[in-house]
Amino acid sequence: MKVLDTNILVYAHRQEMPFHGRAQAVVRNLSEAPESWAIAWPSVHEFLAVVTNPRVFQAPTPMQKAWKFLAALEQSPSLRFLSETPEHSMTLRRMLEESKVVGPRVHDARIAALCLEHGATSLLSADRDFSRFPGLRVVNPLVESLT
């Protein structure tokens, strides 16, 4: 199962982003494929926080439009949303200890832990910071093939 990170969602949603077309194609291909794919709930929250933020975008996305984008994704029968499992505390602690991240990177460790808890085959992200988490395969679908 492939997991989609926040930045790919933002690129797919916002037309002015440099990789908009490629990100849209990635999301469309995942949505239309029979294989399961996922988005972690923290990435949903972060997506909403980023695209609606007037400090990030001169013309931020109205909240209703951001939710409409997510609702369209929910129409994919193969999409799953990842949340914490009973093993989350142990997995997150291990991720933090092994990667030695602190501060804002704890958020990334949470997403990495969710991916591992749910048996993800890869995290699709343009964020290189995820490479510090052992056991997590990170693929940048904006520059790499997904095959």
Q: The whole model's pTM is what?
A: 0.93
2-139 CATH, one of 3.40.50.1010, 3.90.580.10, 1.10.1840.10, 3.55.40.20? 3.40.50.1010
The DSSP code sequence of 49-102 is HHHT-TTT-SSPPPHHHHHHHHHHHHT-TTEEEE---TTHHHHHHHHHHHH---
Residue 85 Cα distances to 12, 27, 49, 94, angstroms: 28, 25, 24, 15
- Give the model's pLDDT for residue 44: 98
**Which of 76, 74, 67, 65 has the alpha carbon at shortest distance from 33?**
76
Looking at the chain, the whole-number percentage of residues with pLDDT higher than 70 is: 97
Domain ranges of the chain: 2-139
The tens digit of pLDDT for each residue in 71-130 reads: 999 999 999 999 999 999 999 999 999 999 999 999 999 999 999 999 999 999 999 999
